Amino acid sequence: MTSLPHLTCRDGVYYWRRKVRPQSTRIADLRVSLRTTDRVRATILSRVLSAESEPIMAALEQDRITLEEARRYLQHVVKTHVTAQNDLRQDLRFRYGSPPCELERQITSNTTETWDILAEQGIGATISEQVEHDMIAKGRSRAEVAMLRLVLDSHARPLLRSHVGAARRADDFEKVTGRRIKGDREAVQLLELFIEGMRAANAAVATPPARALASDVMDQFDPVQGTFSQDDEQREAPSSPDPVTASTVTDVQANKTRAVIHEIMPAEQDDSELDPSINAVIERMIQFKKHADEGLEEKTARQYRAFGILLQRVTGKTDIRSLIQSDFVKLRAVLLKLPKSFGKSPSDHTLPIESVLAKAEGLPKEKIGLAVGTVNRYVDHASALISAAKAEGFELHPRLDPGLLRRKEKGRARDKKRTFTREELETFFRHRYWSDPEPGPWLPPLAERRRSGVYWVPLIAAYSGLRREEIAGIGVDYVRQEDGITYFDVITTTDRRIKNATSRRKVPLHDDLIHLGLMELVRDARKAGYVRLFPDLKEPASNIMGRKVGRKVEKFVKETWGDAGRGLSLQSARHYVQHVLDLDTEVPAKVARDIMGHEGQDVHESVYGDQSPVPALKAAIDRLPSLSGVLSLPR
């Protein structure tokens, strides 16, 4: 019977028997009686069974996740991630209204589509050129396709392929089933279950609590009688109901209603009609600050809103009255574990905080933990939020004081950013971006560079002390003249807010900027109908000014000095101007403050006296050292 290894005979009756040892230690033994004593018939049946059993053997040789285990794990994935997605949608709805910010809407929509693609095509799915062409032919824009590719390649796929993601899935599976997965086959099954669970979680549509409660109430309402059936049933209920039935029905109804109502109206409702949600308190605080402190930067408003969303993501709480001190302790602990790059990737705003922290664990130590100044800024935002809530009359925990969590910063505030020396500034402007007339692989022709904001903003900063955003967002109509003197009129516009009231000022142009050709650029921009002097610095889907040129300056500094340039940035040019004016005995302190947009040191300096006249400001600006030797300015 050597040609039929699975055929055996016992007591004249033929059997088909096959043993297999799966990846675990147990042995699977399959034995089937062929119910015949005829060898020829037994041979035929044995061959049929051997052929048909191959798929079964392949399955047995691999450990498989059972149906019940798969169900438990899927429930865990859906429960965990649908909550995160619903929280994200609620954040977007409260933050941006309806419809939400286009960028955030695209991120949410493309995340859902990404998991659909992965579920259909596997983790090797990609947006090829042909797929992109087909999408565009169906009405998608290139920007939308690019966003979808970004979410797929930078957000979802690394989560699926990384060892950290696989280990986390295995840990979650063990948590919900009580056993560890074994073998590659179970790992693949677990990955497939995770993708399908994420697909379901992202496709789930959140019903606002108020809508759910209204629907539940209307189910009990009889429009003909004008009564609620639930009330009638309660009035007609027997005085001594069966305890088991009553507790079962009542608890289910009560828990359902309590869960919905708690989102809208916590148990201890105060008499105020103000919305107690964290987002609502922050919005009212922002509006008050904009009204009370003219010139509140939009950047600061964005920081307040981002802080509120992060606070809710970390604590899971949306009601300002439910916060306690330990919530802010937890927030600070998370800030110290986040990647230093947190917030720069779109996925940072959509991934659960736990996933962001898990990714951070694989980073080098020096890339983990936000800077002390950043952590303290979040703490300051928390203190402002709590103060605003108390001012509105909300009853908060008596020991709630986020300000106690501030960390002591090392060094002086002036040492956080280095100041350019004159020699360093001259070396910086010898970089080939300003000095090389010939184009290079990444370097446009000099004539083209001289029309860009990257070329002009650092020069203007070194000759005026203006802030990065003030220069990058300057409008063509805000380069003006008075008494024959050309100046930048720094005021709040529809495109850009200024930092505070003292930031509103007039800053004359240094003669070198005029000789270099800045006014020709202004004339060309007016002829072209530009609103901004530097339209190339507009960030896509953002109103933030100057980040592009800021990144370029950091790149040029690194190319010039390497690690020795650490601490030098575009802001260092503003510090340089401040330093030169402070040391110049011919420049009055008030004139220097009016150029820099700084407050006075006491009430007398802050309140009394008008702005310095433009000729006095021009005289001070022209005392800034010339860089003509470096830039070869035409005279």
pLDDT for 193-228, tens place per residue? 888 777 776 665 444 445 545 555 555 555 555 555
Q: State the pLDDT confidence band at 166, using cuts at 50, 70 and 90.
A: confident
Which SS3 state, helix, strand or coil, does residue 118 take?
Answer: helix
The more confidently predicted of residues 119 and 211 is: 119
At residue 87, the pLDDT reads 53
**In total, how many domains does the chain have?**
4
Q: Is the pLDDT of residue 426 over 80?
A: yes
Among 203, 226, 259, the domain-final residue is 203
Please say whether the beta carbons of 398 and 554 come within 8 A: no
Residue 589 falls inside a structural domain: yes
Give the end of a domain, one of 45, 60, 75: 60
Same-domain status, 402 and 429:
no
- Classify strands 221-222 and 13-20 as parallel, antiparallel or unpaired: unpaired
Structural domain range at position 45 = 7-60
In this structure, which amino acid lies at residue 567?
A: G
Identify the residue with better confidence: 169 or 321. 321
Q: What's the rounded mean pLDDT across residues 327-338?
A: 91
> Per the domain annotation, does 259 fall within a domain?
no
pLDDT at 321 over 70: yes
Q: Is the pLDDT of residue 272 over 50?
A: no
The pLDDT confidence band at residue 63, using thresholds 50, 70 and 90, is: low
Residues 6+ apart with CB under 8 A from 372: 407, 408, 409, 410
Q: What are phi and psi of 317, to 5 degrees?
A: -110, 145
Q: Which helix (H) or strand (E) holds 79?
A: helix 67-96
Contact 434, 549 (CB under 8 A): no
Antiparallel, parallel or unpaired: β 485-490 and 479-482: antiparallel
Can you give the pLDDT at residue 481? Answer: 92
Per the prediction, the chain carries an average pLDDT of: 76
CATH number, residue 574: 1.10.443.10
Q: Do residues 365 and 454 both lie within one domain?
A: no
| 485 and 427 inside one domain | yes
Would residue 249 count as lying in a domain?
no
Do the domain assignments include residue 218? no
Q: Is the pLDDT of residue 115 over 80?
A: no
| Rounded Cα gap, residues 90 and 197, in angstroms | 21
Q: Around Cβ 451, how many Cβ atoms within 10 Å? A: 16
Does pLDDT of 601 surpass 90?
no
- Distance in angstroms (rounded) separating the CA atoms of residues 407 and 415: 17
Burial (Cβ within 10 Å: 0-12, 13-18, ≥19) of residue 410: exposed
Residue 199 · residue 115 · CB < 8 Å: yes
Residues 556 and 534 in one domain: yes
Q: What CA–CA distance (Å, rounded) separates 151 from 113?
A: 9
Lowest mean pLDDT among 144-148, 267-271, 525-529, 583-587: 267-271
Same domain, 309 and 444: no
The answer to whether 503 touches 470, Cβ cutoff 8 Å, is yes
Q: Which of 446, 496, 447 is nearest to 471 (CA)?
A: 496
Bin 544: left if φ > 0, else alpha if -120 < ψ < 50, else beta.
beta
The answer to whether the CB of 92 falls within 8 A of the CB of 105 is: yes
541 and 616 within one domain: yes
What lies within 8 Å, CB to CB, of 204 at 6+ separation is: 78, 82, 85, 86
pLDDT grade for 58, boundaries at 50, 70 and 90:
low
Pair (598, 548) in one structural domain: yes
Which of 203, 222, 241 is the C-terminal boundary of a domain? 203
Residue 1 lies in a domain: no
As a whole number, mean pLDDT of residues 163-181 equals 81
Q: What is the DSSP string of 240-297?
A: S--HHHHHHHHHHHHHHHHHHHHHHS-SS--S--S--BHHHHHHHHHHHHHHHSTT--
In a domain, 227, yes or no: no
Same domain for 448 and 541? yes
Residue 406 shares a structural domain with residue 496:
no
Model confidence pLDDT, tens digit, residues 551-580: 899 999 999 999 899 889 999 999 999 999
Whole-number Å distance between alpha carbons of 553 and 568: 9
pLDDT tens profile 5-55:
678 887 777 777 776 554 444 455 666 677 677 787 778 777 766 766 555
60 pLDDT above the threshold of 50: no
User: Are residue 92 and residue 56 in the same domain, yes or no?
Assistant: no
CA distances 619 to 516, 581, 595, Å, are 19, 11, 11
Q: Tell me: do 73 and 196 sit in the same domain.
A: yes
Whether residue 261 has pLDDT greater than 60: no
Same domain? 465 vs 362: no
pLDDT above 80 (res 596): yes
pLDDT tens column, 501-513: 667 889 999 999 9
Separation between Cα atoms, residue 600 and residue 597, nearest integer Å = 10
In a domain, 328, yes or no: yes
Residue 230 lies in a domain: no
**Assigned token pair, 453:** 């904001």
Q: Locate tokens 């840990």: which residue? A: 171
- pTM, full prediction: 0.47
pLDDT for 436 equals 84
Q: What is the DSSP letter of 23?
A: S
Q: Are strands 7-10 and 13-20 parallel, antiparallel or unpaired?
A: antiparallel
